[in-house]
A and B are shown apart, each in its own frame.
Chain A
Amino acid sequence: MGTDGPILELRAAQPSFDESGMAPVPVDLRLMPGDCAIVDCRDYARATLFADLCCGMVALASGSVRFMGLDWTALGDRQLYALRGRIGRITRRESWLDLFGTHQNIILQQLHHTTRPTDDVVAEAMSLGQAFGFPGLPLTSPGRLSAADLARASCVRAFLGRPDLLMLEDVSDMLPPDATVALLEAITAARDRGAAVMWFARHGATWAEYRPAVNVHLRLLDEGLFPVRGV
């Protein structure tokens, strides 16, 4: 599933304050295939809410949010969920189900949204897992993994299945240094095949090594989303 237009487009999207608690200010943003937007945001919760807004999970008072040319508000439930299956997310929100092992958590999205053979999905997850520093795929319950291993597992889950949009919240405080290079390589590979990336960062140091490859730099504040000069 590809698109010639923007992957993600927010047109004067004003979140509903009553339902989300986000400041009701209009936000404009346009991410083309291959774009990488760094969003400076010191507040983890605000970053998560903004990512939710981009994924059509926050009600709008006005404006529109389009993903791959489709307006979230114009979609029915089935289409909406199917479209979200094209988004890879690293989130700081509690997102691991203790009902399953970590390996099942990682491949769950792919198993749910695609008809790819399970062996293929597992093989791709194994390969990504090794790139991010796992010996294979962790089978234990997510509750028993360290924060560092959960951050690695989040990366594997986000990049699995060639998503069209990557929403990466800042896990640099948990991600071990050996996995950072793998993260940058995975971002580059995803952009090369046409995915757009939105990377939330708390500090400049998080993405300093990737600075030359970044083409959009924004700052997310309570007052809205503002462009930053000098990328």
Chain B
Amino acid sequence: MTGGAAAPTPTPTEAADGRRPGWLASMPGRVRPALAWLGRLTRHQVRFVLVLIGSAWGVVRESMRPNAWRRTVRDEFRLCLSQVVGGGFLSTVITATLAGLMVVSQAVYWLGFAGMAQMTGSILVSVLVREISPVLVGIILLGRSGMLVLTEIGLLTLGGQIRALQAQGMDPFLLLVLPRTCAFMLGGFTLGILFATNALLMGFIITHASGVITTSVWTFFANVLGAMSSWDFVVIPLKFILVGFFVGLGACMTGLLADVDDTIATLMPRGFARGIMTVMVVNILFSLWG
């Protein structure tokens, strides 16, 4: 461009006349990378939560479809359920025994000491059965079976076998995620009820043996049941079910969404942290809700 007059540079007077000053014009350019970084970070952080919500809906919807429960899916469900319940049985019994010894005996002793023995049932229900049991059962599920599922599916994803399954027309969500999540859900309920019953029973045995409680086991359990509200009869099983559901789903989805850069060394800590977070969030939400 020659021969033309040079473009006049804007003066403060012109800026005051309504044209944007230089620093304002360059603002979007400077802010955009920061906003993009913030967006990336936010998306990355909430990605798993969104995946979990979406896949939870997918599991619920697919599980309602009779055609989804074909024999390969049923076989996988059976295998996983026996692994979840069989693998977690002993850990649950031992942990419940220890929890029963600590919580029940201490609660009975100190409530009796304070002259509030009539509160024993409600304290045990609200502390041991409603709050501690789902957390400990969730941790047992995660450690005994969740990490195993995560490793299995993660290795299949990293090894390319998941893509090979898709090439054979087998949907990994249907074949692996649906049956395993349902197995974890049922396993969570089974182990949870086992945990609560065993913890209360062991607590009773110890306190009865030491002479702190003189009532029969039936009276003890009747007191505990009597202290439960109708809401507790809904919330406690629901907590066990949802903890199992989300621990299983989280492990499956973490394995299925492994990146090419991932290794088992990066997947397992991530899966464990997500699993613990899931267990805590489910429990806290119910505690706030209740």
| A189 interface hit (Cβ, 8 Å) | no
| A190 interface hit (Cβ, 8 Å) | no
B159, A85: Cβ atoms under 8 Å? no
| A229 interface hit (Cβ, 8 Å) | no
User: Which of the candidate stretches B7-15, B162-170, B231-239 sits at the interface with the other chain?
Assistant: B162-170
A109, B170: Cβ atoms under 8 Å? yes
A112 CB, min distance to chain B CBs, angstroms:
4
| B152 interface hit (Cβ, 8 Å) | yes
| B71 interface hit (Cβ, 8 Å) | yes
A89, B168: Cβ atoms under 8 Å? yes
B38 CB, min distance to chain A CBs, angstroms:
26
B169, A93: Cβ atoms under 8 Å? no
B70: nearest residue on chain A (CB-CB)?
Answer: A112
List B residues 115-173 near A (Cβ within 8 Å): 152, 156, 159-161, 163-171
User: Which of the candidate stretches A76-84, A128-136, A172-180 sits at the interface with the other chain?
Assistant: A76-84
A89-112 Cβ-contact flags toward B at 8 Å (1 or 0):
101011111010000000011011
Q: In the complex, what residues of B have CB within 8 A of residue A82's CB?
A: 169
A57, B167: Cβ atoms under 8 Å? yes
Interface residues on B, range: 10 to 19
A86→B164 CA distance, assembly (Å): 15
A57→B162 CA distance, assembly (Å): 12
Q: Say whether, besides A94-B159, A97-B156, A97-B161, A89 and B167 are in contact (CB < 8 Å).
A: yes
| A52 interface hit (Cβ, 8 Å) | yes
**Which listed residue, B70, B163, B175, touches A57 by the CB 8 Å rule?**
B163
Q: In the complex, what residues of B have CB within 8 A of residue A93's CB?
A: 160, 163-164, 167
List B residues 202-254 near A (Cβ within 8 Å): none
List B residues 56-103 near A (Cβ within 8 Å): 70-72
B166, A57: Cβ atoms under 8 Å? yes
B169, A84: Cβ atoms under 8 Å? yes
Q: In the complex, what residues of A have CB within 8 A of residue B159's CB?
A: 94
A95, B70: Cβ atoms under 8 Å? no
A94, B167: Cβ atoms under 8 Å? no
B169, A91: Cβ atoms under 8 Å? no
A113, B160: Cβ atoms under 8 Å? no
B149 CB, min distance to chain A CBs, angstroms:
10
B159: nearest residue on chain A (CB-CB)?
Answer: A94
Q: In the complex, what residues of A have CB within 8 A of residue B164's CB?
A: 91, 93-95
A84, B72: Cβ atoms under 8 Å? no
| A171 interface hit (Cβ, 8 Å) | no
Count of inter-chain pairs, beta carbons less than 8 A: 67
B156, A87: Cβ atoms under 8 Å? no
- Select the residue from B152, B156, B166 with max chain A CB neighbours within 10 A: B166
B68: nearest residue on chain A (CB-CB)?
Answer: A78
Q: In the complex, what residues of B have CB within 8 A of residue A55's CB?
A: 167
Q: In the complex, what residues of A have CB within 8 A of residue B72's CB?
A: 108, 111-112
B128 CB, min distance to chain A CBs, angstroms:
37
| A118 interface hit (Cβ, 8 Å) | yes
A112, B163: Cβ atoms under 8 Å? no
A112, B167: Cβ atoms under 8 Å? no
A57→B166 CA distance, assembly (Å): 8
A81, B156: Cβ atoms under 8 Å? no
**Which listed residue, B71, B161, B163, B168, touches A109 by the CB 8 Å rule?**
B168
A155-196 Cβ-contact flags toward B at 8 Å (1 or 0):
000000000000000000000000000000000000000000
Q: Which residues of B approach A to under 8 Å, CB–CB?
A: 70-72, 152, 156, 159-161, 163-171, 174-175
Q: Which residues of A approach B to under 8 Å, CB–CB?
A: 51-52, 55, 57, 77, 81-87, 89, 91, 93-97, 99, 108-109, 111-113, 118
The 3 closest A-B pairs by CB, nearest first: A84-B169, A95-B164, A85-B169
**12 chain-A/chain-B pairs, Cβ below 8 angstroms:** A52-B167, A57-B163, A77-B171, A81-B169, A91-B167, A93-B163, A95-B160, A95-B168, A97-B156, A97-B161, A108-B72, A112-B169
Q: A77-B171, A85-B169 are in contact. List 6 more A-B contacts (CB 8 A).
A: A81-B166, A81-B170, A85-B168, A91-B164, A93-B163, A94-B164
